Amino acid sequence: MRPFQIREDELAPDGREIHVEGALDLASADQLQEALDRAAQGCSGIVIGLEQCDFIDSTGIAVIVRGRRRMEAEGGGLAAHGASGGVLRILEMTGLTNNGLIFETAEQARAAALAGPAA
């Protein structure tokens, strides 16, 4: 398994993309929370890339769900994309792939996040 890392990128016009690499679990969830807190400052949409995420547990899922609720409360949006293998199976079992939070492609997630809160 890869060591945990986060990379942050700007999305035009006022969005941020956070790429997660390695295991998103109890040991690393605080780092994602800090990245989400930074990104939420003056940002209307956040996208989380999970292409390189090897594992996710309930702590990591909770950080993503709380981030979405926060962004929606502030009039923005948050979506994730690129989950595969075991990470995708866990997200499917929790129902997150059916509620407009997890998308297959980056383009779908960016469109959803930058559109703001779900109707």
Q: Which residue has the tokens 């383009």?
A: 107
Whether 60 is covered by a domain: the verdict is: yes
> Would you state the pLDDT for residue 2?
83
Q: Give the domain CATH number at 29.
A: 3.30.750.24
Residue ranges making up the domain that contains 108: 5-114
Average pLDDT of the chain? Answer: 94
For the stretch 71-97, pLDDT in tens is 999 999 999 999 999 999 999 999 999
Q: Please report whether residue 64 resides in a domain.
A: yes
Number of H helices, E strands in the chain: 4, 5
- Is 10 inside a domain boundary? yes
Please check whether residue 61 lies inside any domain of the structure: yes
pLDDT digits (tens, 9 = 90+) for 40-68: 988 999 999 999 999 999 999 999 999 99
Question: What total number of domains does the chain contain?
Answer: 1
* 18 is a domain residue: yes
Let me know if residue 119 belongs to a domain. no
